[in-house]
Amino acid sequence: MPEPSRTLEPDDSAAVNDLRSAVMRLSRRLKHQRVDESLSPAEMSVLGTLARCGSATPGELARKEHVQPPSMTRIVALLEGKGLVALEPHPEDRRQKVVRQTEQAEAMLEQSRRKRNAWLAELVGQLDEDERATLRAAAPVLEKLAHL
């Protein structure tokens, strides 16, 4: 959890505004670099969560994705119908199922990562060396912000 907010200097406030704007624009552009256009952003997000966190119950996925359980049930059913997830018995609770991504989903996500990385690498290639050095220095800070 972040520390209580401190008053920012005017330069920091402007930087926060610029960062927010740039990250949102870049994120939107990255989202358009999809391999499978038939998947909704919510479906892609669930597959990404499964890839990062491993198998989970629909309830756990709903909490991680900040959606209601009935919405997650629909998303999981759509992904199962597309062969991207499989439902398995819960090892300890017979009433529940565990959702796991399939090999097809893993391959699709890897292809998507490659496409997005190639697109982003092309953009980075247009920067000069000082800008690339700044980007290399900023990447860990952005990663930290993403996990605060």
* Residue 34 in this model has a pLDDT that exceeds 80: no
Using the predicted structure, report yes or no on whether residue 3 has a pLDDT greater than 80. no
List the Cα angle 37/38/41 in 5-degree steps.
75
> What crossing angle do the helices spanning 103-124 and 41-53 adopt, rounded to 10°?
100
Instruction: Classify 89 as helix, strand or coil.
Output: strand
**pLDDT for residue 4:** 53
Q: pLDDT tens across 110-132, in order?
A: 999 999 999 999 999 999 999 99
Contact partners, residue 89, CB within 8 Å, separation at least 6: 97, 98
pTM across the whole model: 0.74
Q: Which of 6-20, 46-60, 92-106, 109-123 has the lowest mean pLDDT?
A: 6-20
| Burial of 51: CB neighbours in 10 Å, binned 0-12, 13-18, 19+ | middle
Q: What is the pLDDT of residues 6-28, one digit of tens each?
A: 677 878 888 899 999 999 999 88
CA-only gyration radius of the chain, Å: 19
In whole numbers, what is the pLDDT of the chain averaged over residues?
90
Map out the domains of the chain as residue ranges: 13-147
Q: What is the pLDDT of residue 7?
A: 75
At 28, which helix (H) or strand (E)? helix 10-31
Decide if pLDDT at 37 tops 70.
Answer: yes
Using left for φ > 0, alpha for ψ between -120 and 50, and beta otherwise, residue 66 falls in left
Answer yes or no: CATH 1.10.3470.10 is held by domain 13-147. Answer: no
